[in-house]
Amino acid sequence: MVARAIDLSSTGDQVYLSLFGTSLRNATGLTVRAGSQNPNATYFGPQGTFTGLDRVNIGPLPSSLVRGGRVTIVLTADGQTANPMEPAIR
């Protein structure tokens, strides 16, 4: 199975990315790094349906990420860095 790329090519659209993990809800601060950009984390906390699962909403993703290929995204909560993710952006 091949994941589809996140499409940022439509002008005027605002694209948000939701990520899921654990141990984020009690953090006092969270930063996001996407390539060389720092998009906003508009929400981080409980996911709402599954016990112990947390959600991070990031966005809107900057159109400057449109370069084709993969972009490394790193979350840091209270000084602890999560494993990087590399979604494809187009």
Provide the pLDDT for residue 65. Answer: 86
Q: What is the mean pLDDT of each run of 10 residues along the chain (90 residues)?
A: 83 91 92 94 94 95 82 95 92
Provide the pLDDT for residue 83. Answer: 94
pTM of the predicted model, to two decimals? 0.85
Q: Nearest to residue 31, comparing CAs of 72, 82, 65, 70?
A: 82
Provide the pLDDT for residue 12. Answer: 83
Tokens of 32: 């996001």
CA distance 29 to 80: 10
Provide the pLDDT for residue 68. Answer: 63
Burial class of 84 by CB neighbour count within 10 A (0 to 12, 13 to 18, 19+): exposed
Domain segments of the chain as ranges: 17-81
Burial class of 58 by CB neighbour count within 10 A (0 to 12, 13 to 18, 19+): buried
Tokens of 52: 């112990």
